[in-house]
Amino acid sequence: MGDTLILQVRDLKTYFFTKRGVGKAVDGVSFDLRRGETLGLVGESGCGKSMTCLSVMRLHPGPAARILSGQVLLHGEELLQKTEKEMRKLRGKHIAMILQDPMTALNPVFTIGNQLAEPLRIHQKLRGHRLLQRAIELLRMLQIPAAESRLKSFPHQFSGGMRQRAVSSIALSCDPEVIVADEPTTSLDVTIQAAFLELLKEIQRRSNLAILFVTHDFGVVARMCDRVAVMYAGKIIETADTQRLFSTPAHPYTEALLKSVPEVNVQIDRLYTIEGQPPSIYDLPAGCPFAPRCPYVEDRCRQEFPPVKQVANSHTVSCWRHV
């Protein structure tokens, strides 16, 4: 893992403006990603992980979603100031995304070969036999059988796992420096998932790829991630090295998430659950958004969001217990 900062996100705010009101989907998110590093982004569904990724890529669903403020710096270049034409030159070549749902990520009316060839034609100027060979190579790399004939298949002719691998091959096709992977293993069975993660790590070792990895699976976090950022209600509430986060979680929400993962060797009658639900982005509480579900809640937790506190080297948390 290198020390070179490749992606910097500073105080990013993406809000939804709808008939329901203003929804604070991403509310002041900041993180750094270094060359060759994997940063895990974890949290319950609806906490803002996918919207953070889409905002970084400038693919947030407008006009309802708007990036109000913040910075997204790729090699020091401000992405939020770039035109759509300039972003199209960057996407795929320098920063690419593996989308969460492979069925909606792929166009149903074009073959897999057409969709895999597009970034290769645009960014690497490949044509003819070289283009075909590179496309076949990418499908084989992602362990899609009969790769040559599969290029002529349409997305509906692939299984869910094969579609996910096809989407991943498109994202990796032009050797980008940053991959934003939004739950890339969701549709994969356990055997293929292990092979896919090993392949991703191998590509990372070879090319010093930086990965922003969104997942619900703490087993994947332990296997893939160097550092972890925990999100709740549109905010990052804790960031730490993976090993330290697992051994010494500082935020009650992180503690609760880790308790929710069942231990294979321990027999229990009832699985641990976090009481209550995450708040609606349209009706966030005044203080810490986790306060209504927190076992350690104090009066000030309901009144004011806690500042970021460094509790150890590379370990920060937003919780009044540590201030």
Residue 119 belongs to some domain of the structure? no
In a domain, 93, yes or no: no
- Asked whether residue 35 is domain-assigned, the answer is yes
Residue 254 lies in a domain: yes
pLDDT band at 50 (very low <50, low <70, confident <90, very high): very high
Range(s) of the domain holding residue 40: 5-84+177-184+209-322
162 lies in a domain? Answer: no
Q: So what's the pLDDT on residue 143?
A: 83
Residue for token pair 């203003």: 22
| Number of domains the chain contains | 1
Give the model's confidence band at 119: pLDDT under 50 very low, under 70 low, under 90 confident, else very high: very high
Residue with tokens 């925990």: 230
* Amino acid, res. 223: R
pLDDT of residue 310: 95
Judge whether 273 lies within some domain. yes
Q: Is residue 167 assigned to a domain?
A: no
If pLDDT is split at 50, 70 and 90, which confidence band does 262 have? confident
User: Other C-beta atoms within 10 Å of 127: how many?
Assistant: 11
pLDDT tens per residue, range 183-193: 988 777 888 88
Cis peptide before 63 (omega within 30 of 0): yes
Q: Is the pLDDT reported for residue 3 higher than 80?
A: no
Q: How large is the average pLDDT for residues 238-243?
A: 97
Q: For 87-114, what is the mean pLDDT?
A: 91
Q: What token pair was written down for 211?
A: 């990965």
Within the chain, residue ranges assigned H as helices are 49-56, 84-90, 102-105, 112-124, 128-141, 147-150, 160-172, 190-207, 218-224, 242-247, 252-259
3 CB burial (10 A radius; 0-12, 13-18, 19+): exposed
Structure tokens at 138: 């990418």
Confidence of residue 29 (pLDDT cuts 50, 70, 90): very high
Pick from 7, 166, 222, 31: which is nearest to 95 by CA?
7
pLDDT at residue 31 above 70? yes
- Three-state SS at 217: coil
Asked if residue 105 belongs to a domain, the reply is no
CATH code: domain of residue 36: 3.40.50.300
User: Any idea how long the chain is?
Assistant: 323
CA distance 60 to 50: 9
- Its pTM stands at 0.92
H or E element that contains 263: none
